[in-house]
Amino acid sequence: MMGTVLREYRHPGPACGENPDSTFLTDKDFRTLGRLLPDFRPFEFRDRLQALQHQVTGNTTSEELARACCMSGSAFRKRFKQEFDIPVSEWLRERRKERIKRMLLDTDLPLCQVAESNGFNMPSTFSDYCRRNFGRSPGQMRKLSEPVKKS
């Protein structure tokens, strides 16, 4: 039974209230299981965020993460600050920077597509963001990551 419970919980499932027929277990379900099964240790807050981390995009908000964790926005931000000792907004900014850097250095996507997928509507805004955060324009970052061709 424990294996089934853990598999169900690991399944990211929809955000709370999106699909009532989902097999995703709620926090209430886990509290009940915790009372009934003495050895049961549900995944903690950090584990939930780690599971959600691959879904974070340039436009993800703390409110969306809170909904995915079935928490209110204020409770989520408070818990996040306690767990990680940084505000969720700072964590999201760092994830965005990592994603942009990875997309620029590891893919051949056009720069405008990288910008759009990270929430930038104007190429100039994206370029300014990269200069502020990485010290180079997106094009310069991509050129520096290309292997040097031998003649």
Render pLDDT for 130-145 as a digit per residue (tens, 0 to 9).
Answer: 999 999 999 999 988 7
Is residue 83 domain-resident? no
Which one is predicted more confidently, 39 or 21? 39
Residue 50 belongs to a domain: no
* Boundaries of domain holding 137: 90-145
Q: Which 8-state DSSP code applies to residue 109?
A: -
Has residue 48 been placed in a domain?
no
Residue with tokens 């964790």: 69
What is the percent of the chain with per-residue pLDDT over 70, rounded to a whole number? Answer: 71
pLDDT recorded at residue 41: 58
CA dist list (Å): 118 to 17, 89, 102, 106: 27, 15, 12, 15
Number of domains in the chain: 2
Report if residue 15 sits inside a domain.
yes
pLDDT of 51 reads 74
Is there a domain that residue 95 lies in? yes
Q: Give the CATH number of the domain where residue 119 resides.
A: 1.10.10.60
pTM: 0.64
Q: Model confidence over 38-56: pLDDT tens digits? A: 666 556 777 778 777 777 7
Quick one: how far is CA 121 from the chain centroid?
21
